[in-house]
Amino acid sequence: MRAIVRIFRRSPTKNDAILQPYVKRELGKELSLVLDCRTRWNSLYDMLARFIQLRNPVQKAMIDLKEPVQVTEADFACVQDIVSSLEPVKLAVKALCQRDTNLITAETALHFCLIELQKQSSELAKTLASSIEDRLRERRALHAGVLQYLHCPTASSRSASAATELFSIPTNAAIKKFVHEMYTRLQRSDTEASASSAASEAASGTDGDCADNVVKLDDSADRPSSTTNQSQSQSLEKQLELAIMQSVMMKPSTLSSSSTAAEKNLASAVKAEMAVFASNGQRGRCLEAVYGYLMTIPPTSVEAERAFSAAGLLCTKLRSRLNDTTIDTLSFIRAYYQSCK
């Protein structure tokens, strides 16, 4: 196939004068053959799909050119099997690379890909489906199963969505343990974030007071020492208030992680919310918090790779001395104009 494509890609005369008249006569418009890149499987699909589409014009052009390279019916059948096997994979990968993809849509795309491959009778499709299943079993974590459980409102829809063993939902005990641990972690992170923000605000206020006190001390160098002692006591008082605030803010996190009563109450709350969710599909406070967290997990690293690619397009050999602010601004403007399109 590559040898035939190169004949027309490297010679504009053969492509325009011999191949394209047959293409216009059959399809009503011009279409050129596509040459693939050996390291890109999706470019292989594009080349073979276009070759199948231009099968008759290519055969007629090869006869006119009297080229020794000929393709048999068995070769076309093999190419058709390759195209049929790569098409659902390409569609699934395209769905996974979208910006709004989450674990739910990712599993739906992968499930669709596996079902379409299993419907085919070729050996290539079966081998590809088996390889994808083995790889997904190695990589799929408990997060996806729990999110699938929390996303489906009723048991019937959950059983319908878990059509294969590969995307099965975990047991209730595993879900309960996961929700308990995840909600505890979320509470701890929220408490630490609020404590750090309060500490930073208090520290900024203390620095301002200390600066004011320093100015006052400089202005009152000849005043009695009682004023100096008073300012020092005020500074120590601010430091003491900051230490007390930090200890108070960190106290709930320590108690929630070490108190047995709190653990029991949380476990009973998760169990009750799971029972209510199984009956009417309403998520409680704990289940909703875990569900919102799991929905933010990106299934792939495509978005990070896009960021690196965008920076690579801006930072070239001719523009190798851009600072971080300039790169950030240019990337923002580029993303804005792309969204406007």
Which two structure tokens, joined as six digits, stand for 166? 């590969």
Predicted pLDDT of residue 100: 85
Are 167 and 107 contacting, i.e. CB atoms less than 8 angstroms apart?
A: yes
Closest CA to 162 of 117, 105, 116, 111: 111
The predicted-structure confidence for 89-115, as pLDDT tens digits, reads as follows: 999 998 999 888 888 888 888 989 999
The predicted-structure confidence for 286-331, as pLDDT tens digits, reads as follows: 889 999 999 998 888 888 888 888 888 888 888 888 888 998 899 8
The H or E element that residue 243 is part of is: helix 225-258
The conformational region for residue 66 under phi > 0 = left, psi -120 to 50 = alpha, else beta, is left
The predicted-structure confidence for 166-209, as pLDDT tens digits, reads as follows: 788 888 899 989 988 888 888 887 777 777 777 777 666 655 55
Phi, psi (rounded to 5 degrees) for 67? -80, 145
Domain extents in the chain: 2-71, 172-295, 302-340
Which two structure tokens, joined as six digits, stand for 127? 């081998």
> DSSP secondary-structure letter at 166?
T
**Could you give the CA distance from residue 180 to residue 174 in angstroms, rounded to a whole number?**
10
Question: Please, what is the Cα angle at 206 between 205 and 209, to 5 degrees?
Answer: 90
**Could you give the CA distance from residue 289 to residue 281 in angstroms, rounded to a whole number?**
15
Which two structure tokens, joined as six digits, stand for 288? 């909703």
Q: Is the pLDDT of residue 163 over 80?
A: no
